[in-house]
Structure 1
């Protein structure tokens, strides 16, 4: 009977049905084909229980923060400030794309949202200065994967909720890996800029730098408050999301005066829509996970991996290879919700720190945004930047390989994720 369930899952995916519906429909097929129809009575309660977690409240609050910052002129000022600083060096606008993505990662926490927003802003600008659309689109997408790594991070919130790991600790664990990713992309740009003679813009004078810095100071309040607040223990990750929303509103409304009252309804609608999409996926994935647990699939996978090797290094290698494959087929958040309950017993058995493992699995599934055929980031940027899908896939290949190399460095360099959390007593 499980063969029919697997076939149903594959057929639903091939038909292009949204992954959230695929998970729910596959679970119903399982109930019907195995005769466990009595479980349908508990299905509504199961859907609700998957959402009943205080940590998930941070998701709509951080989405609201991002919407307020985009509408309030905060995002544009961060990009402009970065351009004033490094736009004059060879390949300067490419550096701006990476650094601006790192700035915005401390605000948005969603790679898809960041890729969509930066594609609208940076791809046309880079093309004007002489970069190819292929390279500009690929770099914008690739550098957006730091969004779920540098705090705040939606995917870290979900992992922390599922695994019982401190969300604050996960946020702090993402800082060094996020910087490593940023530096890796900067190094790649330096090499490609030297090889392909990338363009550069005029150098800004000290007066322009100073004015840009003064103008961006209120915008920097949001990431500073989030990071310092969590580091100092003044508030939790969820509370920091609420405070960040208030600060973004005040800065956009009263400092920059670009946030208008008439924009608030659309901002709230966008926040509700984005939150509903994510939470519906979480609810359906929780239902799918119930089916997996009922069939004792986690125990089967655990026993299989333990039979291969009892070495944690081998286990992490197998996990990475498995997740890279899964990331090409399933949305990252859905895969995370399904697989975390599967892997957590193994993480305990191999005595791997759950914070370190959380960073590994989140980075791995985020890389899936760059991989065909299901990489959602590829479809988003392909549509917004108006570039053919296959051209974008070809252009992003060097950045994808770099991302995988950095993933393995972080996997086997535990201190890269645990240094700051250990320093803060997590």
Structure 2
């Protein structure tokens, strides 16, 4: 009966956090073990007693301050220096600016919202198809869950009980691979469609754009540099980054007003609380998984099909593509990790870092695929383009992601090389 309750609630579009909590309550009632009711609240609270979870609201706050402080526009201008003169230059600028933003925001939906509003009108003005412009922006948002810092990596690291800093390092090479694959897609589509050639900045314009961008560039340097050199934990790096974003936006660019801080704190608190409540509910849902021995039963089923780690990851990829289409990426990570990670580690000796990168990238694809497709609809709303038109231009990017996923599944070193060194 418990699995039925879980499935029915999901199909009725009940928020995932409530689905997890209600399923656990039903299981306790059905089992007759009323003592578990007494520790229900305690179990939920213990699920969020983790220092690493503080990074989530801090990274969100950094993104809010960047948007308010005018840093996004200056990062886009800096991207123009490096790729602006190529054929299809504005599409490359879009991609490179998304890489910069991914190293700061860490949230795909937030990044798609910001970049779709900024880049789609510009690309349309220069003669690009509106659907392709929105599709490029939406695809660029997929870099956010892979290039550190990533909110999904923070959540996976907490659930898997592995260092979040190492999890961030595991995403560096896959993130660069994804960016290169998107650049190849832009080059191929540009060659076939005859994209307009961009214009290079003059020397003076390039120096000016670079100087204006340098204060904003301190933010990703503080986040990644602090973690990479062991100066700060991810949470401390997020706190430093939010402070830098505030000071740069207020004192350097003079676009961020202290009077707007309360509104930003409120938006951050609301967004972060939904994610943290899901994690708390997932900790209670862990009772159901443990008592039902779900990982062990699933492991015996999968190991009867294959003993090859690569084939196992391919099976997981196919299953998660379906899961990601109907469940939000963060919610899916919270649901899937406790079930599949023990199987990956114990039965197939797969590194938790490789597994985390693969499932996070896979699940975020659901942002751009119907029927849920939150990122697709955000890009559609912000750009004024129909979801169908975006989807028609998006498929080469989705194919590129599939190729990268296969490579990451086949070669563990792509995810672990920086950790090993």
Q: Distance in 2 between matches of 1:399 and 1:42?
A: 47
Q: Which residue pairs with 1:96 in the alignment?
A: 93
Normalized against structure 2, the TM-score is what?
A: 0.95
Alignment partner for residue 377 of structure 1, among 369, 375, 378? 375
Structure 2, gaps ≥5 residues long: none
- Indicate if the aligned counterparts of 1:181 and 1:403 stay in contact, CA closer than 8 A: yes
Q: Distance in 1 between matches of 2:269 and 2:375?
A: 21
Q: Which residue pairs with 1:217 in the alignment?
A: 214
Q: Find the residue that maps to 2:85 and give its secondary structure.
A: coil
- Indicate if the aligned counterparts of 2:95 and 2:137 stay in contact, CA closer than 8 A: yes
Q: Find the residue that maps to 1:90 and give its secondary structure.
A: coil
The question of 1:313 aligning with 2:278 is answered no
- Indicate if the aligned counterparts of 1:369 and 1:376 stay in contact, CA closer than 8 A: yes
**In the comparison of the two structures, how many residue pairs are matched?**
420
- Indicate if the aligned counterparts of 2:341 and 2:355 stay in contact, CA closer than 8 A: no
Q: Which residue pairs with 2:187 in the alignment?
A: 190
RMSD of aligned Cα (Å): 1.8
Normalized against structure 1, the TM-score is what?
A: 0.93
Q: Which residue pairs with 1:352 in the alignment?
A: 350
Q: Distance in 2 between matches of 1:410 and 1:136?
A: 28
Q: Find the residue that maps to 1:308 and give its secondary structure.
A: coil
- Indicate if the aligned counterparts of 1:286 and 1:337 stay in contact, CA closer than 8 A: no
- Indicate if the aligned counterparts of 2:69 and 2:250 stay in contact, CA closer than 8 A: yes
Q: Distance in 2 between matches of 1:284 and 1:338?
A: 10
Report matched runs for 1:8-407 at 5 Å.
8-32=5-29, 35=32, 39-346=36-343, 347-407=345-405
Q: Distance in 1 between matches of 2:342 and 2:34?
A: 29
- Indicate if the aligned counterparts of 1:289 and 1:337 stay in contact, CA closer than 8 A: no
Q: Distance in 2 between matches of 1:91 and 1:20?
A: 43
- Indicate if the aligned counterparts of 1:85 and 1:209 stay in contact, CA closer than 8 A: no
- Indicate if the aligned counterparts of 1:372 and 1:393 stay in contact, CA closer than 8 A: no
Q: Distance in 2 between matches of 1:203 and 1:239?
A: 38
Structure 1, gaps ≥5 residues long: none
- Indicate if the aligned counterparts of 1:285 and 1:334 stay in contact, CA closer than 8 A: no
Q: Distance in 2 between matches of 1:290 and 1:383?
A: 40
- Indicate if the aligned counterparts of 1:286 and 1:338 stay in contact, CA closer than 8 A: no
Q: Which residue pairs with 1:422 in the alignment?
A: 420
Shift of 1:31: 4.2
